Structure 1
Amino acid sequence: MAKTQVGVLFGGCSGEHEVSICSAQAIAKALTQGANADKYLVLPVYITKAGVWQFGDRAAQVLQSGEPSTDGDETAKPGDRLPAPQPLNDIDIWFPVLHGPNGEDGTIQGLLSLLQIPFVGSGVLGSAVGMDKIAMKTAFAQAGLPQVKYVAVTRAEVWSNPCVFPKLCDRIEEALGYPAFVKPANLGSSVGIAKVRSRQELEAALDSAASYDRRIIVEAGVEAREVECAVLGNDVPKASVVGEISFESDFYDYETKYSAGQADLMIPAPLPPEITRQIQEMAVQAFQAVDAAGISRVDFFYVEATGEIFLNEINTLPGFTQTSMYPMLWQASGISFDALVDQLVQFGLERSQPISA
């Protein structure tokens, strides 16, 4: 039988470019070893930070070295950044590993949908809603899922009118108090997030967040344990065991998330069985609320003193690095890394099948 040719699409125009390369390395390795070696052939496709698509030896070199490439960036023109059609003809299914904007926000999913080639993970709707924290929380609220209090803010409110800004801060303080977290609505991996404890810090954090995104969310801080649950599947998704993250930093920021030894992961999390069950059920509900597919990691706050569980966010394209929680949760649930990658490809193929009565 001919091998299924998997286009591993990685790099991309976001601040998570290097993380994307690391994730792609792990996925490509899993697709080319053990039982997967007889089923799949990896075709790497690399997107530089400037948006230039690279195929063949150039893409393979980045995948092997782990170092970003700038070939073609200096002379790139908008028309040069579209992928040439010939390399795409060989791809049976895409495995997009593009974290952050232009990768997990529905943009690349729209392009892949137009190409009419199957791909792993959520479609345009699930990706877009899962990426935008304001849209995500609106969907969660509609589904009746518990969340911490939050205030949605626009860049215009922060920058456009100096008379509006103090009133905006008054409204946030009245609604949420301190501490609070200021976040760009459309960035992943804790980029641009700040914990604030005063008006001065709030003003600075809003100004910083506005430099990243025109939509901003401010959330009430809560003393809680941070736990995560992985979801796998399409129309009948299943939840993994629950894991817990502990760290010394103020919050789970970018450096803590991607630096070995900065955070302690407990898998499975030491939680009462009933709390674990509720988190798993809510993880699946969150997955379905945004119309996710294939893969997602859902993050929660557990307030041990009261037994309350608050849904924090969903990540429809979680990392696959050595320190990434998603594959570790499934490993603890009985699914090896290689088997997990295989299942994700199969779920992507399943989604592309025509509907039968």
Structure 2
Amino acid sequence: MRVAVLMGGMSSEREVSLNTGAQVSDALRKAGFDVREIVVTEDLEALLTALKPRPDVVFNALHGRFGEDGVIQGVLDYLGLPYTHSGVRASALAMDKGAAKALFAAAGLPVAAHRIIDVSELLERHPISPPYVVKPVNEGSSVGVSIVKEGDNHRAEIAANWHFGPAMVEQYIPGRELTVGVLEDRALTVTEILPAETFYDYHAKYAAGGSRHELPANVPAEIAKSAQEIAVAAHKALGCRGASRADLRYDEETGRLILLEVNTQPGMTATSLLPEQAAYEGMDFPSLCAWMVERAACRV
């Protein structure tokens, strides 16, 4: 089977995607596929040319805007090329944090109090009671995320350096960072993410030594079970296909689990969170990549 791996892209996560694409390509070759790597740029005509001759399947290893927000998915649907991961609607909804939280709330899933604002509002007042998190509505990998606590005076700095469009301000949930991978209707194990510093930001996610992963997470069995159930329910609420990963906060003092977001294009290096969980449950990296290819489809 001929598989084209799309990597790179135009978002702030381009370098992450290039790393993902290279490791996925290697894994798929080990699994016996005929692999062609395609580095995506802003040149759509070049991409269409690179997709000739037509592959049997496209492995979408793009991250961020234009890669996981429904845009490239729409192009591939139009071309009639089966591709991995979620389709246009689920990808667009998951990438839009406001729309995703509205769906989660409608499905009865636990979300934090939040507002969508123009970031200039930070210059005048606290949009909600601190502590709270400021994050772009349409970015991933914790790009542009900041925490504002009582007494902080860097609201003006956040506003001055902002270039992401609308912002979401969300109640800060204290506690532990958990994540759960989902393969179709099956939740994988629960991982606790332990950043080297106090906040699991972009640096903690991708820098060497920025964080460590504990799996399975050392949490009560009922909390792990609830986290898995929430992850599967969120996957279904968005209409995801293939793999996704849900990020949650666990507040030990109150026993609360709060769903933060769902990633429809989870990191796919051999040591990323989803592949780690799959490996823990007996599915090595080439097998996971092959699983995704075998379930590729044109989707809405």
CA distance in structure 2 between the partners assigned to 1:208 and 1:185 by the alignment: 16
**Residue of structure 2 in register with 1:143 after alignment:** 107
**Residue of structure 2 in register with 1:114 after alignment:** 78
1:219 aligns with 2:143: no
Aligned length: 298
Write out aligned runs for 1:159-238 (5 A).
Answer: 166=124, 169-170=125-126, 172-173=127-128, 177-197=129-149, 198=151, 200-209=153-162, 211-212=163-164, 214-233=165-184, 237-238=185-186
Q: Secondary structure at the match of 1:83?
A: helix
1:8 aligns with 2:5: yes
CA distance in structure 2 between the partners assigned to 1:139 and 1:276 by the alignment: 23
Cα RMSD (Å): 1.9
Equivalent residues of 2:196, 2:209 under 8 A apart: no
Q: Secondary structure at the match of 2:239?
A: coil
Q: Which amino acid aligns with 1:13?
A: M
Q: 2:261 aligns with which of 303, 313, 317?
A: 313
Q: Which amino acid aligns with 2:81?
A: I
Equivalent residues of 2:40, 2:47 under 8 A apart: no
Q: Secondary structure at the match of 2:161?
A: helix
1:32 aligns with 2:23: no
Judged with a 3 Å threshold, the aligned counterparts in structure 2 of structure 1 residues 203 and 25 are, in CA distance, closer, same or farther, namely: same
1:284 aligns with 2:232: yes
Gaps of 5+ in 1: 54-79, 353-357
Residues 257-303 of structure 1 deviation map (CA, whole Å, 9 limit, x = unaligned)? 00121111101101111111111111000001111111111001011
1:298 aligns with 2:295: no
Residues 36-56 of structure 1 deviation map (CA, whole Å, 9 limit, x = unaligned)? 21xx210111113xx136xxx
- Counting aligned pairs with the same residue, the percent is 36
CA distance in structure 2 between the partners assigned to 1:98 and 1:42 by the alignment: 16
1:165 is displaced (CA, Å) by 5.7
Judged with a 3 Å threshold, the aligned counterparts in structure 2 of structure 1 residues 135 and 207 are, in CA distance, closer, same or farther, namely: farther
Q: Which amino acid aligns with 1:289?
A: A
Q: Which amino acid aligns with 1:83?
A: L
TM-score w.r.t. the length of structure 1 is 0.79
CA distance in structure 1 between the partners assigned to 2:141 and 2:103 by the alignment: 21
Q: Which amino acid aligns with 2:61?
A: V
CA distance in structure 2 between the partners assigned to 1:143 and 1:248 by the alignment: 34
**Residue of structure 2 in register with 1:101 after alignment:** 65
1:333 is displaced (CA, Å) by 1.8
Deviation >4 Å, runs of 4+:
none
CA distance in structure 1 between the partners assigned to 2:224 and 2:65 by the alignment: 32
Q: Secondary structure at the match of 2:174?
A: coil
Equivalent residues of 1:195, 1:250 under 8 A apart: no
1:18 aligns with 2:15: yes
1:152 is displaced (CA, Å) by 1.2
1:347 is displaced (CA, Å) by 1.4
